[in-house]
Amino acid sequence: MEIPLFAAGSILTITILIVLGTMGIPDGGRTISDDGNNKLVIITSVAPITNIVKNVVCEKVDLIGIVPEGVDSHTFEPTPSDAIRIRSADLVIINGLNLEVSFERIVDAAKEDNPRIQLLKLADNTISHEEWIFDFSFPKEKGDPNPHLWLNVAYVIRYVELIRDKLIELDPDNASYYAKNAEQYIARLRMLDEGIMRAVQSIPVENRKLLTYHDSWAYFAKRYGMKVIGAVQPSDFGEPTPQEVARIIEQIREENVPAIFASEVFPSKVVEQIAREANVKIVETLADDVLPGRVGEQEHTYIGMMLENMRSIVVPLGGNVDALHGIDPRDVCNG
Ligand SMILES: [Zn+2]
């Protein structure tokens, strides 16, 4: 059988990339990064995870987040140059629970050439199978639980502990540095967790319901006492059928919610149609993968994202965010 030309081309490209990817890595030693230092090289996936890691490591490692902000992390595939970076890292930190399967494949393949590469899957080490949540866009029959643990701040505190412990293991010379950063960051996360709890409690009980486009609020809702009544996005990350849309509209009317939620990463005409027909307010500023503001701005952090999310959720549902005033969104390294 003849190999189609494009397939042969891809095989050649992959071979070249594999060769390139293994160049310049000293055997068994630590990666020497571009500027000649011998810092650890850590690769992360989505922006909130990158920022959480940043708060533990600050400037002590070379930290590279691969998934660009504003890109759907559920369908993201690393580019060939991303794959090269992943292959030559010391440590790859991902959310896990099958959010970044493509990263895992690359790390597995890299082990032969780069035996020191380690993979840390945060969510898999934070909750047990019994605590997995399957729901609207992540149904049990598909096998992958909802992976969005990082919208529950208590779970993020566990993420920080896992990151700290792994860094201390890989770089014991800087153990007290990582421990101190983690301690400061956890203190701030505890304030955020408590503030969110109180802000949600300010919403009238009958309004503590979430209907979102992207189904990322399961673990948030469970911790903070809200109910996810549905998600618009089907499990194949496409658009819902007209029958599903009709059912959602009916449900919104029955549940009598004042607002439904979407995000800029998942623009959907369907949500606008649903809001119009169900006669509810639509809030399109929820975020789970995108940090607010621009790189370098104070609120361009995981904590900044959660504060922004709380303003987006709590106020339209009739509550207030007074309990969150004074929480510093800045990275602890800069604070
Ligand atoms: Zn998501």
Report mean pLDDT in 10-residue bins for the chain, 335 residues. Answer: 42 42 39 64 97 97 94 92 96 97 96 96 97 93 95 98 98 97 98 98 97 94 96 87 93 94 81 92 92 94 98 97 97 78
Instruction: Tell the CATH superfamily of the 25-188 domain.
Output: Nitrogenase molybdenum iron protein domain (3.40.50.1980)
Domain with CATH 3.40.50.1980 in the chain: 25-188, 202-324
pLDDT at site 197: 98
Q: How far is the CA of 220 from the centre of ligand 1 (A)?
A: 13
Distance from the alpha carbon of residue 146 to the mean position of ligand 1, in angstroms = 9
Topology given in CATH for the domain delimited by 202-324: Rossmann fold (3.40.50)
- Tell me how far the alpha carbon of residue 35 lies from the centroid of ligand 1, in angstroms: 34
Amino acid letter, 301: T
Query: Quick one: 108 exposed, middle or buried, by C-beta within 10 A (0-12, 13-18, 19+)?
Result: exposed
- Between the CA of 328 and the centroid of ligand 1 the distance, in Å, is 25
287 alpha carbon – ligand 1 mean position (Å)? 9
Long-range Cβ contact pairs of 260-263 (< 8 A, separation 24 or more): 260/211, 260/212, 261/210, 261/211, 261/212, 261/213, 261/286, 261/312, 261/313, 262/212, 262/213, 262/214, 262/232, 262/286, 263/212, 263/213, 263/214, 263/287, 263/288, 263/290
pLDDT at 4: 44
Cα 233 to averaged position of ligand 1 atoms, centre (Å): 11
Backbone angles phi, psi at 154, to 5 degrees: -60, -40
Q: CA 104, CA 120: separation in Å to the nearest integer? A: 10
Q: Which residues make Cβ contacts (< 8 Å) with residue 318, sequence separation at least 6?
A: 203, 204, 207, 258
pTM of the predicted protein model: 0.88
3-state helix, strand, coil in the chain (%, to 5): 45, 10, 45
The one-letter amino acid code at 318 reads G
Measure 189 CA to ligand 1 centroid, in angstroms. Answer: 21
Ligand 1: centre distance to CA 1 (Å): 41
CA of 99 to the centre of ligand 1 (A): 8
CA of 177 to the centre of ligand 1 (A): 32
Q: Which residues pair with 211 in a beta bridge?
A: 230
Please report the pLDDT score of residue 35 as a whole number: 52
Q: Where does residue 98 fall: left (phi above 0), alpha (psi -120 to 50 degrees), or beta otherwise? A: left
